[in-house]
Structure 1
Amino acid sequence: MTAQTKPTIVIVHGGWHIPEHYDKLVTALESADYEVHVPRLPSTNGPRPPNADLDSDTALVRSYVESLVRAGRTVAAILHSYGGQVGSNALYGLGVDARAAQGLKGGVSHLIYMTAYAVPEGTAMMDKVKEFNNMDLVPLAFDFAEDDSCVHRNPKVFMVGPGPEDEEIDKYVETLVRWNGKCMYQASKHAAWRDIPVSFIYTTADMTVPFDYQKNFVEGLEKAGRKVQTFELATGHCPNFTATEGVVDAVIKVVTA
């Protein structure tokens, strides 16, 4: 596979994150000759009260990827955490096969869920938390302000976890941002995974989207008739930062299969 035939990679980041949190992953993928884009989601843009939500994030990602595929690009999307909700909602109808059926070039070739929400239409992130009877843990994990913006109460331990040196982790955590917590309660309207090949990167030590949740997502996809290629990384919720090489290996296996 030459640089010209490799898919363009678009990373849809998670809540509390900004594109800079994916620098290690971007650098590693670029070293393997991939072009990488990480658009910033409007729900992390900082105003109080928040002025953007799942709908805003969906519109941004759809517009961004549409501009690439209309130029004939093949795109592989890496969806992290809440980014799974956004990507599922935004990328429906943009698959390579769907576009080819219309005589169009380009399209989304793969959805790579990285410890990300992969749920059916009409499902919100908090619906899964309720399903697992974990709603009592929400106020312990997340600090919601009166305007519904929120921060993670202990991201160093419960979101990042072990891996890099403490100083590196501290820098990562210091740059996490306040996010619109309403996004967690908003149901997706579309499920792009129904028509685009799907892979899932499990993170077995994840304390933000637990391994049981992740396995439940994949079971749901398979019950819906989707074949899911899976990978396991023994790390926490931010493998883009703590297990970068493992993520790159998985992505390359997916897009070159």
Structure 2
Amino acid sequence: MTTNVKPTILIVHGGWHVPESYEKLTTALEKAGYEVRIPRLPSSVQVRPPVSDLTTDTFLIRNYAEDLVRTGHTVIAIMHSYGGQVGTNALCGLGLSSSTGSKGGVSNLVYLSGYAVPEGRAMMDTVREFGHMDLVPFAFDFADDDTCVSSDPKKLVVGPAPGRDDAETEAYLKTFVRWNGKCMYQPIERCAWREIPVTYIYTTADATVPFDYQKSFVAGMEEAGRQVQTFEVATGHCPNFTATDDVVDIINKVVSG
């Protein structure tokens, strides 16, 4: 068996995003020799009123990852923002060290400014814990059917984008879609970071998942006895777009150990 084959990258995308939103990162990872998979989460298919949520997103990623593991892939899951909730919920029991009887497995969970919380916690629980619930109406534009968009995606979601002209940023923003905002209020039921090695990529200029939130996620995992490898990128919430090369460099470091 060949031992130097690079792992397959499974990107679990964030809210408002779709696979096309990660074109820069996907292209850069493929150029670095990785096979990249990025399924579209059902909560972002824009059916209104929404019929998909955290449960259906979890089911999709679970099935997708199981297929990869069953066919012998070593997988690194990159989980961006809300994707952290989905991946944490979906990937339990699929680690390389798990006795699944499969040749493959998930070797590392990489949270990219992602929610990394324990069982029973929703995204909004962190917002509430930090006393920021009064900011929710200003940050998110909810419709009557509970679908939502960011009220200012260029400032709050993308954030600082050095070296990116306005046309490139606008093209990126055009990939964003209306998303089922109920997902932010749904708690996870399982916790993959308890059993699979963890890396956390901090985005220190993040206005959507603030740096303090991110540090609290890592602190919670460490308090639960998990070792977390951390990296910092001085950018906003979308390093897949604003700091692509940095993300690829970090993945290379994760792979090399």
The interval holding the TM-score normalised by the smaller chain is over 0.9
Residue equivalent to 2:9: 9
**Matched AA of 2:75:** V
Residue equivalent to 2:59: 59
Residue equivalent to 2:103: 105
Residue equivalent to 1:116: 114
Residues 142, 196 of structure 1: alpha-carbon distance in 2 compared, 3 angstrom cutoff: same
Distance 1:109 1:71 in 2: 15
Distance 1:103 1:208 in 2: 40
Residue equivalent to 1:239: 239
Distance 1:160 1:3 in 2: 38
After superposition, residues 162-177 of structure 1 pair within 5 angstroms as 162-163=160-161, 164-177=164-177
Residue equivalent to 1:252: 252
Residue aligned with 2:215, SS: helix
Tell me, yes or no, if the aligned pair for 2:71 and 2:102 is still in contact at 8 Å: no
Per-residue deviation, 1:175: 2.0
Spell out, residue by residue over 1:175-207, the C-alpha distance to the aligned partner (whole angstroms, 9 max, x if none). Answer: 210000000000000110000000000000000
After superposition, residues 158-197 of structure 1 pair within 5 angstroms as 158-163=156-161, 164-197=164-197
Spell out, residue by residue over 1:18-73, the C-alpha distance to the aligned partner (whole angstroms, 9 max, x if none). Answer: 00010100111101110000100000001110110000000000000100100011
Residue equivalent to 1:72: 72
The normalised TM-score by structure 2 is 0.97
**Matched AA of 1:212:** D
Distance 1:182 1:256 in 2: 38
User: RMSD across aligned C-alpha pairs, in angstroms?
Assistant: 1.1
Distance 1:253 1:102 in 2: 27
Tell me, yes or no, if the aligned pair for 1:3 and 1:34 is still in contact at 8 Å: no
**Matched AA of 1:31:** K
Residue aligned with 2:87, SS: helix
Distance 2:174 2:110 in 1: 27
Residue equivalent to 1:33: 33
The normalised TM-score by structure 1 is 0.97
**Matched AA of 1:5:** V
Tell me, yes or no, if the aligned pair for 2:160 and 2:205 is still in contact at 8 Å: no
Q: 1:142 aligns with which of 124, 140, 143?
A: 140
Gap regions ≥5 residues in structure 2: none
Per-residue deviation, 1:256: 1.6
Distance 1:103 1:54 in 2: 28
Distance 2:44 2:158 in 1: 18
**Matched AA of 1:204:** T
Gap regions ≥5 residues in structure 1: none
Residue aligned with 1:221, SS: helix
**Matched AA of 1:49:** P
Alignment of 1:130 onto 2:128: yes
Distance 1:85 1:102 in 2: 23
